[in-house]
Amino acid sequence: MNRSLLSRVRTPADVRALHPGQLDALAQEIRTFLVDRVSRTGGHLGPNLGVVELTIALHRVFESPRDTLVFDTGHQSYVHKLLTGRRDFEELRRRGGLSGYPSRAESEHDVVENSHASTALSWADGIAKANELQGRSDRHVVAVIGDGALTGGMAWEALNNIAEGQDRRLVVVVNDNGRSYAPTIGGLALHLDTLRTTQGYENVLSWGKRTLKRSGPPGRLAYDALHGLKKGIKDVVLPQGLFEDLGLKYVGPVDGHDEQAVERALRRAQAFGGPVIVHVITEKGRGYTPAEQDVADRFHAVGVIHPETGLPVAPSRFGWTSVFADEIVRIGRRRPDVVAITAAMLQPVGLAPFAAEFPHRVFDVGIAEQHAATSAAGMAFGGLHPVVAVYATFLNRAFDQVLMDVALHRAGVTFVLDRAGLTGDDGASHNGMWDMAMLAIVPGLRLAAPRDEQTLRTALREAVDVDDAPTVVRYPKSALVDEIPAIEDLDGVDVLARHDAPDAHARRVLVVGVGAMVGSALQVGEALAAHGLSVTVVDPRWVLPIPAALTKLVGDHDHAVTIEDGLVDGGVGAHVAQRASEHGILTPVQAFGIPRDFLPHASRDQLVGALRLTPQDITRDVLTALAGA
């Protein structure tokens, strides 16, 4: 029985050894493999189905790892993994299995692990400069960048520098599918769309070729005439000068699903010996009917799905996002000054309903978080109240703008951080664990961590009412929990439980839960009470700056415990301890949170267990601390 072509591929050399006539079959096998495996594990399906022929061509023209391949973003690297010998997709994005992004720990063929967009061109520029300075003239650097990532300003900073190195062997492949998470927007998108859809150039060129064919064997003069016709028409009809005016050679547009055409384009770029843009047109979700027919881009990233239909095996668990989506529409109806901004993630962050009802009050800026933050400051100056909705991990990219453009100017801007805390499966670059420690140093900034649906709705309403400082509302990726009611409100701090000890002289313990960790705090409180302690469990809701009432509560207890799903160093617990110390309060504050480290991909529950953040672990550690006090 003949072995499949994919099973023969262990290294890129095996790809280069295949006959061109075998490549279409290999592409089909790869697509079948991806749909089968990713439908079982979840992952980025659409982007990878779109780059099958492109990735095959890359590995046939260039020789990784001598030639460096950099993917922007890394979620389109599944085919690259397959062609470099990694076929064990059974545990994709699960603990101990393959990462959903490039990983240096997995392969020498992987270089850039960070999955944040618009960075690959800077990486490629740096690697190419290192090659030049160290005399490595026999190798190329190839950056594959999705068209959506070109909306990020960092990509254009890199292009500006890449154009200076006319002798550096650097190839930029623009994977143009008209989408990032959503349809690519902005002036660049319109430019690429013109390149993609203009028919005049190809029609005239085809006419020229037919004319030469009818006139018999063409001589050199005829070929020169055709080449001149091609160049002249291209200059008039296709505005590819955007790249060439930067000093970058331009090749394309090329049909990204014609492997031989992509190979030819890449070999031309390889032979040029300087920086080249190769513009490749691809179709996201290519070869998988449910993805090809989908207009909402549901197959960019999927959970476990039925491969035949593409329908999810289980309903979506992202209830927090749906609550935000509903509440922001309600706020928008009441407040015509409220506008929404996102960075190429309109659907994932829940702004699609707001856009449907208020289409002129939504601004998708592309993958440009820095611009989102500063333009929001400008909108606030102009009398609007912008709500900037992004994943928590992506606000890191705009810290300077939050600090110097929003906070310094006391701008009333609300940042809504989806997928805050431990997100797990997507690995180190996607855990939204940095925000509270990072934002705690911003003067005047107020941050809320709601614990359930009602506190999320309340926090959003309160946030947009602040017009003289930035506000932040963060919530997790995990399933929405049942309502957790307060039994008392102490000047803005919710008291959730009181456990009075039988012994009036028992030590008093304050347990502070932050956001998604409130449920754990309640369990810890019950467990400590079972050991004869007097326990109060509270949720400050607005955790930054530390409420004065919370500081007073610390002073009213003998021991304080804080539990958060952000960095423990510089996090909420650290700031609680600092405020207590500033007020002369001697109560020890025992902080539990995430260590300052890059966490491997695993489920949220697995990470919580590994970090000893389960209620059982926390209870044991608190009892140990009390025993030693």
Summarize the annotated binding site as residue ranges. 75, 115-117, 147-149, 177, 288, 369
Radius of gyration of the chain (CA): 28
Is residue 284 flagged as an active site residue? Answer: yes
**Are the C-beta atoms of 266 and 62 separated by less than 8 Å?**
yes
147: DSSP letter? G
Q: Which of 180, 415, 185, 220 is nearest to 301 (CA)?
A: 180
Query: 23: helix, coil or strand?
Result: helix
Catalytic residue among 369, 419, 474, 477: 369
Return the H-helix or E-strand segment holding 386.
Answer: strand 385-391
188: which 2 tokens? 């660049």
- Set 60, 397, 477, 604: catalytic member: 397
Q: Residue 259's Cα: distance from chain center in Å?
A: 29
CA 464/CA 573 separation, integer angstroms: 26
Residue 350 CB coordination number (10 Å): 25
Q: Are 378 and 349 in contact (CB under 8 A)?
A: no
Q: Which positions ≥6 away from 39 have C-beta within 8 Å?
A: 45, 302, 304, 305, 306, 307
SS (H, E, C) 66-128: CCEEEEECHHHCHHHHHHCCCCCCCCCCCCCCCCCCCCCCCCCCCCCCCCCCCCHHHHHHHHH
- Per 3-state DSSP, what percentage of the chain is helix, strand, and coil (rounded to 5)? 45, 15, 40
Q: Which residues contact 578 (CB under 8 A, 6 or more apart)?
A: none
Identify the DSSP state of 440.
T
Which alpha helices (DSSP H) does 335-412 contain, by range? Answer: 352-357, 369-381, 392-395, 399-401
- Checking 383-386 for CB contacts under 8 A at 24+ apart, the result is 383/337, 384/337, 384/338, 384/339, 385/335, 385/337, 385/338, 385/339, 385/412, 385/413, 385/414, 385/464, 385/467, 386/338, 386/339, 386/340, 386/341, 386/413, 386/414
Q: How far apart are CA 520 and CA 511, in angstroms?
A: 10
Please enumerate, by residue number, every residue annotated as part of a binding site for thiamine diphosphate: 75, 115-117, 148-149, 177, 288, 369
249 is catalytic: no
> Token pair for residue 547?
């409420």
Q: Is 164 known to be catalytic?
A: no
* DSSP code per residue over 509-561: EEEEE-GGGHHHHHHHHHHHHHTT-EEEEEE-SEEESPPHHHHHHHHTSSEEE
157-162 own/partner pairs: CB under 8 Å, 24+ apart: 157/122, 158/121, 158/122, 158/124, 158/125, 159/121, 159/246, 159/248, 160/246, 161/125, 162/121, 162/124, 162/125, 162/128, 162/248, 162/275
Binding-site positions for Mg(2+) read 147, 177
SS3 of residue 58 by DSSP: helix
Dmax over Cα atoms in the chain, in whole Å? 107
Specify the 3-state DSSP secondary structure of 414: strand
Given a contact cutoff of 8 angstroms between Cβ atoms, the answer to whether 262 and 256 are in contact is: yes
Beta strands in 410-520 (DSSP E): 414-418, 446-448, 471-474, 488-490, 493-499, 508-513
**Marked catalytic residue, from 284, 474, 477, 604:** 284
Q: How many helices (H) and strands (E) would you count in the chain?
A: 26, 18
Nearest to 370 by CA among 118, 115, 72: 118
Q: Which residues are catalytic?
A: 284, 369, 397
